[in-house]
Structure 1
Amino acid sequence: MKLVLPVLADSDIQKEIAKEVKDGLNHTGFSVEVKSLEQSEYLREVYMLGNYDLLISSSGDWQKPSAYKRLMQNSQGLNTSTANEALQSSLQSLSHVYDWKSLEKSLKETNTVINQTMPVIPVARQKEFVAVSADLQDYKMSQYDAFIHNVWEIRVK
């Protein structure tokens, strides 16, 4: 099976992550075509045509349970909604916790269900980064450093 992964042509970070994703998926029998696109082509292919199978994107503010609900509805303008009852139930329980112990338990359950439901390849610790931004151009260098230091490994089930 061949999967298309668009990346921004001038983003070295995206190119490096795409290389790791491609290498990791090749070992599982998937072929990944990394398409290096200029920004206008990228916007057209991803947001207008939906011409991709894999996508490098980011979401922040993972300390708040509402971030998980946002991810399940919309990620950078792309619809990621799902009708999975287990996911809806875990998100509901996550939004009703009031102490740290319950929050940790609920976060673990929610992340397990997300990993079983959503087509996401985690590239870092779940409370910091779930995936990588499509465009880090306007970020300060200190945020790049925070990102680099939090990446542990890329795993594919």
Structure 2
Amino acid sequence: MLDSNQIQEIIPHRYPFLLVDKILELEPGKKAVGLKAVTASEYYFQGHFPQEHVMPGVLIIEALAQAGAVCILSVDANKGKTAYFAGINKARFKTKVKPGDVLTLEVEIIKSKASIGIGSAIAKIGDKVAVEAELMFAIG
């Protein structure tokens, strides 16, 4: 398990853009499972939406990408590098994410060659799928 300080040793994201609170499970280069506790004090709820707080889908995708980056950058050959978005495919948003929800962020690397790869990503609230997508990354 990795806490937020250990996550920040692997990926460059910092407040207010670090969207993974902890990593529960990590198989470097293969799989990561992380958590994001969504609170009412998140900066984006000031404008999305003031009358009904809903976590923006793009930030859920970003949280998944950060969990995937922890996975791929934990490989010895990638330490100290940055994982960049190269594409998003098959993204589906299935339920709203609101304050009080705890997102489980699951990313499995399904293809990796040289500095390019694809991760299968699912964000869940309990057993309910909130978002699923394929995320393409490039190591730089």
Q: TM-score, normalised by structure 1?
A: 0.22
Choose 1 or 2 for highest CA Rg.
1
Which structure shows the higher helix fraction?
1
